[in-house]
Structure 1
Amino acid sequence: MKRMGVGNGVFIVLMFVVMAQGENVWALEYNVGDSTGWIVGPVNYTIWAASNQFHVGDTLVFSYDKQFHNVVEVTKEKYDKCTSAAPLAYYNDGNTTVVLKKQGSHYYICGFPGHCVAGQKVKITVLPLPAAGPSPPPAPAPSPPFVVLDKGNSKSNTFPSVPLHQLASAPLLAALMWALIVFHLF
């Protein structure tokens, strides 16, 4: 076995750091309303939320002008009535970050008068991270090729697309990291 250099040691430490992150490695960040942000008007937040799939550990980012908007987490009843009295959480910093810590429905409105009624509200349904299981059926369109380096020789391979959150199983991640370490050392 060859002697391990500083570069190999750094590689191993980085692999252990990645493995220690576990399920949070695959958490995603969502800008509420995409590039438009958290405003009254052109964004239909119901459609926006339905076009995304949120999981435990993901982050919502609400970007808004704090002079005219805020973010209020409320119960379903208060969401339906557009009332911000006795909120579960209240934010008014202009760039609110909310980590989705538990599965289920979460309700956010703007507490400024008339904004919620005008559509500035969003229901976020948070799913648990799926357990590693059988792979989904392959996508109908071919995946783009990418290069796998093999000790300096490159080979072009095509792999099926798999959503990152489906790979977030700790045993799978650990096996992958060990395979990378062994490959890198020998």
Structure 2
Amino acid sequence: MAIGNAVAIQQSVSGLMHNVGGTKQEGWKPGRNYTEWSMKERFYVGEWLYFGYQKNMYSVLQVNHTDYENCNSDNPVFKVTGGAGRDVFQLNHSITYYFISGGGYCYHGMKLAVLVQNPPQPPAQAPLPSPKNSSPSNYGTTSVIVPISLVFITSWLFNIW
């Protein structure tokens, strides 16, 4: 199963794999609310969609918005279906992707819109201040010794201890 291994390698390098519908068992089939599922997920550029379905009944077609709304499978942008019933699709751009199943199954709920965002950027870290004295033997010792010495001297002068 070389294709599966290639997908696993690309998944680990490029991003998260989303099981369309929630789990591999739920999968791509009629009678599901894929809009509800996709609204609960976050999709980022570089991640993958996994479509698991009955290969002899359903298909996965990437379509434009109009064809998505009208369940028109005549002119797909891309045929995701590879014939195995276990197909993956990489989300390469920060756009909304539209998918339907042909054969009239789109009318039975087999349609999915996925809003893909750019990955969040990690917060920028403030640069560390450069030390005034870069000698490693006494870096920071002056600032610690002076306040501690003042405490002892002050305590001794005022006989606090």
Letter in 1 for 2:123: G
Deviations 1:104-153 (A, max 9, x none): 1000000112x111111000000001111269xxxxxxxxxxxxxxxxxx
Alpha-carbon distance in structure 2 between the residues aligned to 1:40 and 1:26 = 30
Match of 1:96 among 80, 83, 87: 87
- Work out whether 1:128 is the aligned partner of 2:113: no
Match of 1:72 among 52, 61, 68: 61
Alpha-carbon distance in structure 1 between the residues aligned to 2:28 and 2:49 = 11
Match of 2:100 among 109, 121, 124: 109
SS in 1 for 2:107: coil
User: TM-score, normalising length from structure 1?
Assistant: 0.56
Alignment of 1:1-186 (within 5 A): 25=13, 27-35=15-23, 36-41=26-31, 43-90=32-79, 91-93=81-83, 94-113=85-104, 115-133=105-123
Aligned residue number for residue 140 of structure 2: none
User: TM-score, normalising length from structure 2?
Assistant: 0.64
SS in 2 for 1:47: helix
**In proportion to residue count, which structure has more strand?**
1
Q: Which runs of 5+ in 1 are unaligned?
A: 1-23, 136-186
Q: Where does structure 1 differ by over 2 angstroms across 4 or more consecutive aligned residues?
A: none
Task: Kindly tell me the number of residue pairs found equivalent between the two proteins.
Answer: 110
| Coordinate RMSD, CA, aligned | 1.7
Letter in 1 for 2:18: Y
Q: Contact 1:69 / 1:92 at 8 angstroms: preserved in 2?
A: no
Q: Which has the larger radius of gyration?
A: 2
